[in-house]
Amino acid sequence: MPELDLHTARVRFTLYASMIPAQAKEFGLECFREEAKRAQVAAAVNALNSQQKAEVALLLDDHGYQALGLAVHNAGVGILLSLHTLGLAEDYTFFRTSPSGAPAAPALESDYTKMGEWWEELGKKDDVPLRWGGRFHTVDMPHFSWAWGGRL
Ligand SMILES: [Zn+2]
């Protein structure tokens, strides 16, 4: 399939991503959606290394922006050109559903792999560029995306 325009890709990705919680349930899992669309400013902060984050946090703190400094200090790790900034990626945390009704336990790596392989197979079956972060050079198991513009 030729690459879709961004609007159409976002619409299709949103439809596919909406299947994730139901598929998780099929596998005896439940999930949270942790992050979907990410602001460009958050992606830029995430892309800083820890030394740069510490420097920016200190600078903000020195100028009276303590809350912002703390947010930079505690920012996640990511890349500047993340598909999250285009609305083409979502991150999920999975849990194993307890049949007894006990609190759910964190899912195992094998559960993430099962979800990731399902996602990849869905992409192949429908000839759409669904990608799973478990295959990335820096493994990112919670990450489900629609490859676009040379980004994964
Ligand atoms: Zn992600």
**The pLDDT value given to residue 79:** 87
Ligand 1: distance of its center to the CA of 99 in Å?
29
Ligand 1: distance of its center to the CA of 75 in Å?
14
Q: Where are the domains of the chain?
A: 1-36+88-152, 39-81
Tens place of pLDDT for every residue, the chain, 152 residues? Answer: 789 999 999 999 999 999 999 999 999 999 999 988 999 999 999 999 999 999 999 999 999 999 999 999 999 888 888 999 999 999 999 999 887 877 789 999 999 999 999 999 999 999 999 999 999 999 999 999 999 998 87
What are the DSSP calls for 80-135, one per residue? TT-GGGGT-EEEEEEEEPPTTSPPPEEPPHHHHHHHHHHHHHHHHHHT--EEEGGG
**The pLDDT value given to residue 77:** 87
Ligand 1: distance of its center to the CA of 84 in Å?
6
**The pLDDT value given to residue 106:** 94
* CA distances for 19 relative to 26, 88, 116, 150, angstroms: 11, 15, 13, 24
Ligand 1: distance of its center to the CA of 100 in Å?
32
Ligand 1: distance of its center to the CA of 98 in Å?
27
Ligand 1: distance of its center to the CA of 44 in Å?
14
**The pLDDT value given to residue 102:** 79
Ligand 1: distance of its center to the CA of 5 in Å?
21
**The pLDDT value given to residue 83:** 95
Instruction: Find where tokens 């979800």 sit.
Output: 115
- Residues of 1-40 as b/e, b for ≥16 C-beta within 10 angstroms? eeebeeeebbebbeebbeebeeebeeeebbbeeebeebee
Ligand 1: distance of its center to the CA of 58 in Å?
27
Ligand 1: distance of its center to the CA of 113 in Å?
15
